[in-house]
Amino acid sequence: MPALQGPSPTELRLAGSLPAEERDRNIERQAEERMVLEAIYADELCPVERGAGPELIEVRIALQGLPTPACLEVPAALLSHHRHAHAAPPSDDEVARGVRTLLLPVLPPLRLRLRLPCSYPSRAPPAFGMCCSWLSDEQLATLCRRLDGLWEEAAADAPAGEGAQVLCEWVEWLKDEALGSDASISAYLGSDAVPRVAAQPVRLPAAACALPAAGECRALLWPRTPPQLLSELLAHGESAEEEAWARATHACSVCMEEHASLDCVRFLRCRHTFCRGCVSGYFTSQMGEGKVGGMVCPDPACKMEATPDEVRQCLSAEDWERFEHISLQTSLAGMKDMVWCPRCQYPALLQEEGGRLALCGRCQFSFCAECQQTWHGLAPCANLSMRWRAADEAGKEVLRRKYGDKILQEVESSAWVSEHTKPCPRCSAATEKNGGCNHITCRKCSHEWCWLCNSTYTQAHAMHAPCKYHAPHRHGERFCVVRAGPLPQRCVRTVLPRLL
């Protein structure tokens, strides 16, 4: 809104030539007029932060005769930023012009700011400025000129040297007669004796309005940019609708009873109203079944999701805490760049999109998002072979794209070696036993050892039963029969139906 500037040179000259007695009389009359203004228009007056500047009076005037509802013509591109703005289906003409029409329950008030110089009311009128979010600069300038005319008429009829007090007269004229004062304003709003929908809707500008290059900016369309204008118009309409809803009583379609607005819940996204008790019972039953996603409007034909604030109002503190916890886990689980820290169970971010390195923000633990183990760099995960064997064809294709065929072949070979071989007790060389007895000779280091107990093999190893899997002179399950004799005599038969 344009701020009222300091005293003009004309005001300063008048103030310098003003006798002290006349100045004091003006200040006294101004105080009386402010008291009358506050008594009559208490709801319309709005405090103004003036800082170190002069005292200002702001009156927010709802013009009488406004169309209800009012049509607002908006560039179609702006509606994408306002998901809750409901536009009527566009006509062919609107589609061709790239506009949409919104219906607003009420238009914002005209804002009139006043500053009372020391020469008012005896010699000069009040300094004023006005702004509105749906009247153009030219239309507001027309209203300003009419206020100047009202002052001149009142001052001409007043006794000499007395001037005219016009604050209440200005506010009353703007409220009751401003819409019919100019043909362009009447046609612009489509207003007449009976308020109706505007024949020519309020048109939101397609581009930001430039400020006047020169002259006193006492009347401006404000804000000046289309997105800000649309936001202000929609916000005022929603605020007025909320106030009307708060003053009314409402019938709950669940319990079929009338309730005051304080005992009701109005869903923001669908505007359906139910009593708080019914909504609370419904949400509590959904939480009892673990249906966090079931916090929706109870209307069977709607099912619009409730906002978190609406859910909080209708749940107990315990259920709300549980709802927040489950909702957080669900939201985080759907984030591709977040994993849970295996150490402290805190959300950790992946350092690169599609990567495996994750860093916990709480305990600073660096780990692999795939295997949940300490970060191992470019080496394959320790459980990769197990995941490869357990995966179906789709899972194997994902692993193949992520790690490549070469690494997977190496992992598969390593898994086979680990599963089908044993390391030599001396040199750790992988040794496979595909038949014969349990007397093994390592081909790498020539160490002789028992396949069953891994101990060094001697001639009396099985005969004197140092091996826990052997017993002398017995045959059958879990026993090895040996033939006595010097090395390199070998076991000639192994009877091992199964090993425990």
Residue 107: partners with Cβ closer than 8 Å, 6 or more residues away: 66, 70, 134, 202, 233, 236
DSSP letters, 117-156, are -TTTTTTSPPEEEEEESSS-HHHHHHHHHHHHHHHHHHHH
Residue 84: per-residue pLDDT: 54
Residue 491: per-residue pLDDT: 33
Residue 482: per-residue pLDDT: 34
- What is the bridge-based pairing of β-strands 70-75 and 202-203? parallel
- The full set of domain ranges for the chain reads 9-208+217-224, 249-333, 387-420, 424-500
Q: What is the pLDDT along the chain (500 residues), one digit of tens a residue?
A: 444 666 777 777 887 888 999 999 999 999 999 999 999 999 999 887 665 556 789 999 998 877 777 777 787 777 766 655 666 677 888 888 888 888 888 889 999 999 998 899 998 999 998 988 888 888 888 899 999 999 999 999 988 878 899 999 999 999 988 877 654 554 444 433 223 333 456 666 666 666 555 445 788 877 778 888 888 888 888 888 888 899 999 999 999 999 999 999 999 888 899 999 999 999 999 888 878 888 899 998 888 999 989 999 899 999 998 888 888 777 776 677 778 888 887 888 887 776 778 888 888 888 888 777 788 777 767 666 666 666 777 777 776 666 666 556 656 666 666 667 888 888 887 788 877 788 888 877 878 888 888 888 877 766 655 566 654 444 433 333 333 333 333 332 332 333 22
Q: What token pair was written down for 433?
A: 């036993």
Residue 126: per-residue pLDDT: 92
Task: Count CB atoms within 10 A of the CB of residue 52.
Answer: 4
- Class at the top of the CATH hierarchy for domain 9-208+217-224: alpha beta
Euclidean distance between CA atoms 482 and 489, whole angstroms: 9
Of 56, 50, 33, 26, which is closest to residue 118 (Cα–Cα)? 26
Euclidean distance between CA atoms 430 and 425, whole angstroms: 10
DSSP single-letter state for residue 76: G
253 backbone dihedrals φ, ψ, rounded to 5°: -80, 0
- Would you say 349 and 338 are in contact if contact means Cβ atoms under 8 Å apart? yes
- Would you say 450 and 439 are in contact if contact means Cβ atoms under 8 Å apart? yes
What angle separates helix 317-333 from helix 276-288, to the nearest 10 degrees? 60
Give the CATH superfamily of 249-333: Zinc/RING finger domain, C3HC4 (zinc finger) (3.30.40.10)
Residue 53: per-residue pLDDT: 56
Euclidean distance between CA atoms 410 and 425, whole angstroms: 24
- Would you say 67 and 191 are in contact if contact means Cβ atoms under 8 Å apart? yes
Q: What token pair was written down for 279?
A: 């909504």
Residue 251: per-residue pLDDT: 93
SS3 456: strand
- Would you say 414 and 406 are in contact if contact means Cβ atoms under 8 Å apart? no
Sheet holding 202-203, edge to edge: 99-104, 70-75, 202-203
DSSP letters, 317-335, are HHHHHHHHHHHHHHHHHT-
Euclidean distance between CA atoms 251 and 414, whole angstroms: 72
- Would you say 99 and 115 are in contact if contact means Cβ atoms under 8 Å apart? no
> What's the distance, Cα to Cα, between the start and end of the chain in Å?
89
Residue 379: partners with Cβ closer than 8 Å, 6 or more residues away: none
Residue 257: per-residue pLDDT: 93
Residue 377: per-residue pLDDT: 79
- Would you say 1 and 224 are in contact if contact means Cβ atoms under 8 Å apart? no
Q: Is there a cis peptide before residue 69, judged by omega within 30 degrees of 0?
A: yes
Task: Count CB atoms within 10 A of the CB of residue 64.
Answer: 14
Task: Count CB atoms within 10 A of the CB of residue 236.
Answer: 18
Global pTM?
0.57
Euclidean distance between CA atoms 397 and 300, whole angstroms: 43
- Would you say 69 and 86 are in contact if contact means Cβ atoms under 8 Å apart? no
H/E element holding 34?
helix 20-40
Q: Which residue has the tokens 């079944």?
A: 289
Residue 271: per-residue pLDDT: 87
Residue 82: per-residue pLDDT: 65
The burial of 183, by beta-carbon neighbours within 10 Å (0-12 exposed, 13-18 middle, 19 or more buried), is given as exposed
